[in-house]
Structure 1
Amino acid sequence: MKNDYCLSLVLLALFGMSSPYSAKAFTGDNIPSTQSTLQAKKITGKVMDATGEPIIGASVLVKGTGTGTVTNVDGNFSVDAQQGSTLVISFVGYTSAEIKVGAGSIYNVTLADDTQALEEVVVTAMGIKKERKSLGYAVDDVNAKELMKNKSTNAINSLAGKVAGVTITQTSGAAGAGSQIILRGGTSLERDNQPLFVVDGVIYDNSTSIIGNSAYDGMKASATTGSNRVMDINPEDIENMSILKGPAASALYGSRAAAGVILITTKKGKEGNVEVNLSAKYLTSWVKSLPKTQSMYKRGFYNGLDSSGKAIVDDFTTNSWGEPYAAGETAYDNVGDFFQNGGAWDTNVSVSGGNKTGNFFLSGSFYDQDGIIPTTGYTKTTFRFNAEQRWKMLTFNANVAYSQARTSKTLTSAGLHDSSGTGSMVALYGWARSDDMKHYLNEDGSKYRIFEGRQELSADVENPYWMLDNYRLKDDTERFTGSFSVKADITDWWWISYRMGVDSYTTENSNRIAEGAAVKDLWQNGMMSENSLRYQYLSTNLMTNFSKSFGDFNFNLMLGTATDATKSTTNYRYGWNFVIPGFYSFGNISTADKYLVVNRSKHRLVGVFGEFRVDWKNTIFLTATGRNDWSSTLPVENRSYFYPSVSGSLVFTQFLQDRGLMDDSFLSFGKLRVSWAKVGKDASPYATTTYLENAATMLGGITGYGTSWSRGNPVLKPEMTESTEIGLELRFLKNRLRLDYAYYTNNSLDQIISPRGPQSTGFIFFAQNIGDVYNKGMELTISGTPIQTKDWTWDASLNLYGNRGTVKKLPVGTDVLYVTDVQFGDAQAASFNNGPFLGISGYHYKYTDDGKVILDQYGMPTYDKDTRVLIGNREPKIQGGFNNTISYKNWTFNMLWEFRIGGDIYNGTDYYLVGKGLSDLTADRESLTIAGAQQDGDTYKDVTYTFNANETYNLNGAQVSGKEVIQKYYTDYYYREGLNYITKVNSLRLRTISLNYELPKAFLAKIGIKRANVSATANNLLLFTNYRGDPESSSAGSGISGSGATGIDYCCVPPTASFAFGFNVTF
């Protein structure tokens, strides 16, 4: 009883914000008292929520005294109080109520949800909580309850469709696949464009760990699926996520925050009895969409005519340009049969509690997933301990987290293994349906090869089933994060705090290929690599804050200093040619065939910062910040750089109401905000220096050194982003309807890029400050509660977001900037000078001035194979989400839709399948009609060619069958027009649908349970789109450098749909 009473007091202090609309008191059958008003009498009543359900354990306190009680399992209470005294009723998550004791003795009270009160305070930069109305920039908060509606093992995914200006791409359906997140478009042409993550005040690395060196072991980011490191956090531990989208909101974090910041606050214990929470969920998943293929034609290709003029069919190919299936012949569903249903168990337990001077939170979780690709999976184990202790004027906080994650996976594309198809997805999608892919072993257990004796092993396309048995790829990550802080509240207007934080993890990657693989000759006796990345980050932060009021003005000054030190060490160990077959160990490789490469990197950043805030009558707010950083990665003369910000807001409704010019009956709240900020980004380590790097070092001790591919630039300066933002916030009808609009510009100047130069200089890349990225966009969020009755509540939120990113001032002679040499199909992700940041580069046919395709003398399209041009812009025009939550008594139903309008996607999967003769686009092979124009002297005349399969034609000077003409059109000409594979995408996706039932509290109390619920959730069930695939597929993986490769879809692991059932119990 005493603990519950103390708990109520603390919760009242933290969350109690009284409102004339928050409680209703009723007196029934009240008999006027004949006793003196100074004599205490027994007061009884019942405390209920808005649905009429009793609130168990609510605090009922006689104000100004030590007298109080808590409600029982039926919500009833009894307390002694004098007439004229005030009862204070409170409970966590509800607005407190005050009831004046009159002549009656029975008081029933309904507490309103405290969502509006909690909404008024948000977490901002440096973890400082501020009133939302005081902010001159956009900040969005997503609480634990909202995150759990569509919980994902990757916390990033739970933001999808919920916040304007936030773009989430779930890159793959593979187990352990990462996701990528962008706030308001990319700001850097070649650097990381994902936001900075800060967990409990400590910067948290979110890199995608793709370990391996293309020059040595054939691994690269596009060859397999990686996890972004925020996946190491247990989503159940998260209390709140704050998204700081603009530089004005994030400038205090320094140069690492140029792309925005996501603040994650983890859970703490609360004063009162110790609580034990247990939750478990089982999830089953299945492939949602597969490439559209034909099942009419067998493996083969047409190659000339025989002596009788009949088309010759050659089966010495993996392509499917052969003859139609005869009666009784089987077209195998190789793609559909390859995948399996995935499954995952998600189990969590936590213990929390506290008293008046401290609290603690302890949790553990285990996640175990089987992937949709056989033999693949992902497991994650996490532990967390958070504690807080107050002693006199000091408050101590400690946060410790440990996680261990393992991914078992397969190569999804060829990498650099020098084969014609060493990648499970590439080989799978291109496998001829006339061949049973499950036949990959001979009867004696040896490898079955379709073309054995007809071609070299390295020329084979590897069977995906053999690959699963004999290729082994694993990632193991062990991570420790922690922080310790102390805060001294010296006076009621002055405090000082110090925090030290650490983030450390080791990722170990192993890659093994067995003997007999279809790889280059050097590795056909087996190959293996073991690579490790050791990442260490240490930070300190010292801050002091002064707050004083003078008349109608409130002043706040915060000063601080921060230091960051980052160190990473990467070891590549690889070798080939196993001495004893089947024994996979480096000890089974001769010294001459194994090598070691070591890379080390260090980065140090020191910063000082300050923030000054002033407001007048809690109506007009002004904030100015400044930060100066000194970076170790920049030259001495440019090492120091300063960036300021200024923002302001006017609560005009308060201003008008104070003067009696309006009331709040219709427009309850209105605010204008404006901000300007400048934030810098330093260079990568060693970009200023031309350095030697060690060549592959034999483990036997032989080594060598050579210059790196990149020439250092000793005069580099930081990139700078200038941002402006204006916004409007409106709330109507006592907060029942809310609107938030923002318009922003981000101009990122002096980009640090390394365009290719002539190799005659001895280098390939040269870093320099040149090029600008301009982003402008708008965000609109409309939310409200259309229905709110005793039993029913409907909350709805619609968010819209549009951004335009353009590039200017690239180096002279550089019209197109490529972040990578990787080419998917015939397209490349690229940024274009005076064009889109998220462009697509490809080829075009030759056209007449009026837009007709120029045909050659044989009727085939002509093209320019030497000039790449802009063929698409990957950035959507509009994207957003529509989130609905409907509650009826103990039932809660949630449905989240996501949509996008515009933006191009290059369908590299179709490109690949068309060339293989497997795409359904090639199913009509009886005739082909090509319309265009042919040159006729100095002009062009319109022509149309029709080729019939059963006739012969002159093509390029040779007589061929019509079947071969049709084949060659698709294999040699069709792909030369990049627009043939570009789709301007519109889509509507049902991201999440869930149903939750809270068991009655009165029933649970009888069996010793505080709270319990059961839930069912489905993800990605419906997709309406004009795209021939899933618009979310991305060949880029979850790491984003520069423009990345989002919007390029090339033989990706298909996305999944899923269904989950779970329960949550609190004791």
Structure 2
Amino acid sequence: MRQPLNVVIFLVCIMAMPSLVWAQSKTVTGKITDINNAVVPGASILVKNSNLGVASDNEGKFHIVVSQNAVLVINATGFKSQSIPVSGLVDDVVIKLEEDVTKLDEVVITGLATSVKRRNLANSVATVSSKELNGVAPAQTFDGALEGKIPGAYINANTGAPGGGISVKLRGVTSVYGNTQPLYVIDGVFVDNTATSAGLNAVTGAAAGGNPTSNQDNPSSRIADIPAADIENIEILKGASAAAIYGSKAAGGVVIITTKRGKQGKTSVSLSQDLGIITARKFIGVRQFTADRAASLSSDSATSAALRQQFLDAESAGKIYDYEKEIYGNTGFARNTVLSISGGGEKTSFYFSAAQKDEEGIVKNTGYRNSNLRLNIDHRITDNIKIGITTGYINSSADRGLSGNDNTGVSLGIALASTPSFAQLHPDNFGNYPNNPFAASNPLQTIALMRSNEAVNRFITGLNFDAIFQKSNHSTTRFIGRGGIDFYNLETNALFPSNLQFQAVNKGTSIQGTTKNLNTNYILSLVNTYAPSDKLSFTTSAGLTQETGDYNNLLNIATQVISGQSNVDQAGALNSKQFRAKFQNDGIFIQEEASIAEAVNITAGVRFDRSSNNGDASKYYVYPKAGISWNLTHSGLLKGGFFDNFKLRAAYGQANNVPAYGSKFTSLVISNIAGNPGSLVNTEKGDPNIKPERQKEFETGLDFTILHGRLGFQFTYYNKNIDDFLMLANLPASSGFATGWVNAGNLRNRGVELGLNAKPVASKNVTWNTSVNFWLNRSLVTKYIIPPIPQGSFGYVLGSFQIEQGKSATQIVGLNGAGVGVLGDAEPRFQMNTYNEVTFWNKLSLRFLLHWKNGGNNINLTNLQTDFGGTSADYDNVTNKAGLPDGVYRITQIGTSAQMFVQDAGYLRLREVGVFYSFAKLPVKFIKSLRLGASLNNYLTFTKYKSYDPEVSNFGTGFSSGVDVDPYPASKRANFHISIDF
């Protein structure tokens, strides 16, 4: 650590040098508007080649003190930038910005400390604005708000349970046993996205003994904690050619989140309130019983006669129930309140927000509550030194119920699957629930008496220090320091009292977990911009990075809990499990960017990475990157013709994914021999020479605009190779181990991304902005050194994933009637989306987002459960060639073919639609504006998929996504919105 410390001391000494003093200054005041004279708040007014700048206030006004020969650069999201010499400006100047339909002037991050306009970018980078994220039909959680919005992404909801749980894969499969999710960065802070089990497997038996590393109890991902209302903009770096500079945690891409900041001018106050209802998106239906059908539930004659009489008694008493609608048919109330205050002066600006979201689930006694506070402060110490502090506190609570895979028959969906409509499950007058004779649990009793809660307290704090310590006519050198901490305390609490039907043996179970996680990171960099002429500029950056993580999960599982108690010490038996993981990643990076006549932009860089998870923790691995863009219009090759702007681009980069924690060690497990505690060698063998997975990506494409910037088109092709991907291999018995970690092979992803942005209508009273995106990905395992075995799901009988050389990495294999064959593929054939905003008279706007996923298969085992229980809605239909009832026929195919379980999960979904009206002139002066709106989220879905929702993944966020085993069903929501600016 001595070398980084010496660098820091040197930089601090340099920064202590006196700043350069401008010889003569001038105060510039003005107002920023669009071409229709509507004010543009939050526009940045920066002095070119300087650290000096301000933002327009809520009335579009600004003032700044600059030198007489300075040049002001005005940028605002959604508008074309302008460069204006100060010498030509008059007092109270009005600067009109033209809308940037094709986003060519959007500033995009290209390194850890540098950025570039999209028109000069060598990579394809997706962006999501705050309007697209929150301004149509807000989702329950931040990760849910990303669905359908990112070209090149495959996003799946793991479960519909309150509190979120989303799997995000950018440009295909990047790992099998390693991290598959992108890195999330909030204002320079690397934030954790771990999904932590609540230990419900101790009750459901889905994984052995409440395994804390299992994901079969549908835990939420911790990125769901982040409040979307505070976000100003999101950038998505999708592949190694763009994300390589971020190091080993960025192998799955990078999602860069920028939160809202204060603006110079009068303090503004905004208050918004959303109210809505939440209902089930779909019911799969239940079997319509008759006396004969009731009798057929058993092959025993006595039992069959009893079932027939039970149905007749229930029918005559009017006690035939639709338990599916009773369990999943709750109408939840939702409210979301956000208060924000922002303002600032010449030196200091601030943004403060307080928000609370409270939503009920479609299952009674489930729901989600999120409260958060944010304070962002920016202060300019001198004209050349500025500092920014971002702080966020989050408190969330999610009651997620009991759903998903289950080997004991106690979760809601599994119990419902075998419960016919004539069963009597309701409580008596004293609140006592009867046992369910058709299942291991009474789901109505489970809903009423059990508890399963995730509670989070989280702090995310970041620091940004930016200082210019050298400046001349042609050169500027800055020191940029960024970093922060992400700390959360997660408590999981599940209680199953002894009077539950399925607690007859355990006599009450209390599962309490505590997780503490601390992530830290810093980036120290020097950035020099050298411009020997107006036609040539160089930006050189170099620096050090470090990320650390400390994750500690302790799970206590108590049984024989005393009635009315929940403490684990009030129990007859207690079993504890603990999982701890620590890591430290270090990096060194150097990057050079050159711009020639704003026509040719060249980027080249290299990063050196090491990690404590690697077999050799001290070894630095080298990961290069390079890119070039050539703007044919700016270079003069295309003049005054059809194209307004035409750019060719290409980029290459390498990144790494560190091995799974502990894979280089052979661990010890506890043993008990003759009553004496001790340790035994684990049956899972580590590899002390384990290497990181290396990702290599080449990307190329073109962008152009026509019709005076009203139509823009982007085309991207990428080829991404992952070498040395990590697997657990089955080892021969003679080795003494069952499995072992190994770098098993290579795989490839190839894909195409197309994008179109347009403004088809632009009149005085009506404007229409639209975007259309198309993307597809194809994977191939190019090398595999171990025998192929099923991965995830339940083997060949029901369908499973399998890594196999020469085959797709996302293939689904299983019995096909003639052996084992390929039954489908989880990867969609392609995806498309379109976002539209139509505005009338600058007051009324209609916004909607459509998402089309074509193809892609799920392993649907929800219907199998209802077949086994004899309750499938189509159980008695006869559409098969054998002439049997369909439910019976499907059961007879088990062990012969798994094809019926592998189903097309494609859909066309109206994800979001909203109508909003803005009142700019109000009779009271203290209210500046008022906006009213109504919206629908996930209200319309067209699909042939036969379960609750085609977006599902019982096995969490990793490789094996798209497995459907009686999940918590997806919901839809309708909201009313009101927003007031003071």
Q: Displacement of 1:324 after TM fit?
A: 14
Could you tell me which residue of structure 1 aligns to residue 152 of structure 2? Answer: 165
Residues 223 and 633 of structure 1, relative CA distance in 2, 3 Å threshold:
closer
Could you tell me which residue of structure 1 aligns to residue 582 of structure 2? Answer: 602
Could you tell me which residue of structure 1 aligns to residue 5 of structure 2? Answer: none
CA–CA distance in structure 1, aligned partners of residues 142 and 485 of structure 2? 21
| Pairing partner for 2:828 from 868, 872, 876 | 876
Could you tell me which residue of structure 2 aligns to residue 277 of structure 1? Answer: 270
Q: Displacement of 1:675 after TM fit?
A: 1.0
Q: Give ranges in structure 2 of 5+ residues lacking alignment.
A: 1-24, 46-54, 63-71, 202-206
Q: Deviations 1:423-475 (Å, cap 9, x if unpaired)?
A: 012212432112244x2x35554441244xxxxxxx94201111112321111
Could you tell me which residue of structure 2 aligns to residue 369 of structure 1? Answer: 359
The letter for the 1-side match of 2:457 is E
Q: Displacement of 1:544 after TM fit?
A: 0.2
Q: Displacement of 1:177 after TM fit?
A: 2.5
Does residue 404 of structure 1 match 2:432?
no
Q: Displacement of 1:1012 after TM fit?
A: 2.3
| Pairing partner for 1:623 from 590, 596, 603 | 603
Does residue 768 of structure 1 match 2:736?
no
Could you tell me which residue of structure 2 aligns to residue 691 of structure 1? Answer: 667
Could you tell me which residue of structure 2 aligns to residue 844 of structure 1? Answer: 816
Structural mapping, 1:246-395, within 5 Å: 246-297=239-290, 298-301=293-296, 314=304, 331-338=320-327, 339-392=329-382, 393-395=384-386
The letter for the 2-side match of 1:428 is L
CA–CA distance in structure 1, aligned partners of residues 587 and 708 of structure 2? 44
Q: Displacement of 1:799 after TM fit?
A: 0.4
Could you tell me which residue of structure 2 aligns to residue 835 of structure 1? Answer: 807
Could you tell me which residue of structure 2 aligns to residue 532 of structure 1? Answer: 514
Q: Deviations 1:560-582 (Å, cap 9, x if unpaired)?
A: 1111111111112122113x422
CA–CA distance in structure 1, aligned partners of residues 846 and 306 of structure 2? 57
Could you tell me which residue of structure 1 aligns to residue 639 of structure 2? Answer: 662
CA–CA distance in structure 1, aligned partners of residues 435 and 42 of structure 2? 71
Could you tell me which residue of structure 2 aligns to residue 571 of structure 1? Answer: 554
Residues 655 and 59 of structure 1, relative CA distance in 2, 3 Å threshold:
closer
Q: Displacement of 1:821 after TM fit?
A: 6.1
Could you tell me which residue of structure 1 aligns to residue 893 of structure 2? Answer: 973
Residues 737 and 715 of structure 1, relative CA distance in 2, 3 Å threshold:
same
Does the 8 Å CA contact 1:397/1:484 hold for their aligned counterparts?
yes
Could you tell me which residue of structure 1 aligns to residue 66 of structure 2? Answer: none
Q: Displacement of 1:518 after TM fit?
A: 4.3
Could you tell me which residue of structure 2 aligns to residue 995 of structure 1? Answer: 915
Could you tell me which residue of structure 2 aligns to residue 463 of structure 1? Answer: 442
Could you tell me which residue of structure 2 aligns to residue 207 of structure 1? Answer: 194
Does the 8 Å CA contact 1:755/1:817 hold for their aligned counterparts?
no
Structural mapping, 1:58-77, within 5 Å: none
CA–CA distance in structure 2, aligned partners of residues 450 and 120 of structure 1? 61
Structural mapping, 1:911-922, within 5 Å: 911-922=864-875
The letter for the 2-side match of 1:882 is T
CA–CA distance in structure 1, aligned partners of residues 57 and 949 of structure 2? 53
Does the 8 Å CA contact 1:171/1:1032 hold for their aligned counterparts?
no
Q: Displacement of 1:337 after TM fit?
A: 2.0
Does residue 672 of structure 1 match 2:632?
no
Structural mapping, 1:133-212, within 5 Å: 133-148=119-134, 149-212=136-199
CA–CA distance in structure 2, aligned partners of residues 184 and 72 of structure 1? 39
| Matched residue SS, 1:716 | coil
CA–CA distance in structure 2, aligned partners of residues 1035 and 55 of structure 1? 43
The letter for the 2-side match of 1:1008 is F
Residues 321 and 772 of structure 1, relative CA distance in 2, 3 Å threshold:
farther
Q: Displacement of 1:595 after TM fit?
A: 2.8
Residues 219 and 914 of structure 1, relative CA distance in 2, 3 Å threshold:
farther
CA–CA distance in structure 1, aligned partners of residues 467 and 58 of structure 2? 41
The letter for the 1-side match of 2:331 is N
Does the 8 Å CA contact 1:315/1:322 hold for their aligned counterparts?
no
Does residue 652 of structure 1 match 2:628?
no
| Matched residue SS, 2:414 | helix
CA–CA distance in structure 2, aligned partners of residues 587 and 509 of structure 1? 17
Q: Displacement of 1:406 after TM fit?
A: 0.8
Does the 8 Å CA contact 1:905/1:1031 hold for their aligned counterparts?
no
| Matched residue SS, 2:448 | helix
Q: Displacement of 1:542 after TM fit?
A: 0.7
CA–CA distance in structure 2, aligned partners of residues 768 and 533 of structure 1? 29
Q: Deviations 1:215-274 (Å, cap 9, x if unpaired)?
A: 333778565332221222211111110010111111111111111101001111011111
Residues 584 and 775 of structure 1, relative CA distance in 2, 3 Å threshold:
same
Q: Deviations 1:39-83 (Å, cap 9, x if unpaired)?
A: xxxxxxxxx8555768999999xxxxxxxxx99999999xxxxxx
CA–CA distance in structure 1, aligned partners of residues 608 and 524 of structure 2? 15
Q: Displacement of 1:976 after TM fit?
A: 3.7
Could you tell me which residue of structure 2 aligns to residue 583 of structure 1? Answer: 565
Task: Using the TM superposition, name which of 88-97 and 363-372 deviates more.
Answer: 88-97
Does the 8 Å CA contact 1:175/1:372 hold for their aligned counterparts?
no
Q: Displacement of 1:399 after TM fit?
A: 1.2
The letter for the 2-side match of 1:909 is T
Q: Deviations 1:534-557 (Å, cap 9, x if unpaired)?
A: 111111211001111234431111
Residues 723 and 109 of structure 1, relative CA distance in 2, 3 Å threshold:
closer
Does residue 730 of structure 1 match 2:704?
yes
| Matched residue SS, 1:427 | helix
Q: Deviations 1:796-831 (Å, cap 9, x if unpaired)?
A: 11100100122243234x22341x465699233443
CA–CA distance in structure 2, aligned partners of residues 835 and 107 of structure 1? 63
Does the 8 Å CA contact 2:79/2:103 hold for their aligned counterparts?
no
Question: Matched residues, percent identical?
Answer: 24
Q: Displacement of 1:1008 after TM fit?
A: 1.3
Does residue 1044 of structure 1 match 2:964?
no
Does the 8 Å CA contact 1:380/1:403 hold for their aligned counterparts?
yes
Q: Deviations 1:121-153 (Å, cap 9, x if unpaired)?
A: 223332532121222111122221222223224
Does the 8 Å CA contact 1:300/1:323 hold for their aligned counterparts?
no
Does residue 780 of structure 1 match 2:754?
yes
Does the 8 Å CA contact 1:144/1:240 hold for their aligned counterparts?
yes
Q: Deviations 1:945-977 (Å, cap 9, x if unpaired)?
A: x67xxxxxxxxxxxxxxx9xx875443336742
Could you tell me which residue of structure 2 aligns to residue 1023 of structure 1? Answer: 941
TM-align CA RMSD: 3.9
The letter for the 2-side match of 1:503 is D
| Pairing partner for 2:414 from 426, 437, 440 | 426
CA–CA distance in structure 1, aligned partners of residues 58 and 525 of structure 2? 46
Residues 49 and 811 of structure 1, relative CA distance in 2, 3 Å threshold:
closer
| Pairing partner for 2:789 from 816, 820, 826 | 816
Residues 735 and 265 of structure 1, relative CA distance in 2, 3 Å threshold:
same
CA–CA distance in structure 2, aligned partners of residues 582 and 897 of structure 1? 50
Larger Rg: 1
Residues 93 and 901 of structure 1, relative CA distance in 2, 3 Å threshold:
closer
Residues 741 and 487 of structure 1, relative CA distance in 2, 3 Å threshold:
same
| Matched residue SS, 1:140 | strand
Report the TM-score when normalising by structure 2.
0.86
Residues 284 and 736 of structure 1, relative CA distance in 2, 3 Å threshold:
same
CA–CA distance in structure 1, aligned partners of residues 954 and 785 of structure 2? 26
Q: Deviations 1:719-768 (Å, cap 9, x if unpaired)?
A: 11111111110101111001011000111011111123356644332101
| Matched residue SS, 1:413 | coil
Does the 8 Å CA contact 1:394/1:489 hold for their aligned counterparts?
yes
Q: Deviations 1:55-114 (Å, cap 9, x if unpaired)?
A: 999999xxxxxxxxx99999999xxxxxxxxx99999987779999x9xxx999976446
Q: Displacement of 1:521 after TM fit?
A: 6.3
Does residue 1012 of structure 1 match 2:965?
no
Residues 72 and 809 of structure 1, relative CA distance in 2, 3 Å threshold:
closer
Does the 8 Å CA contact 2:286/2:324 hold for their aligned counterparts?
no
| Matched residue SS, 1:911 | helix
Q: Displacement of 1:784 after TM fit?
A: 0.3
Q: Displacement of 1:706 after TM fit?
A: 3.2
CA–CA distance in structure 2, aligned partners of residues 75 and 745 of structure 1? 45
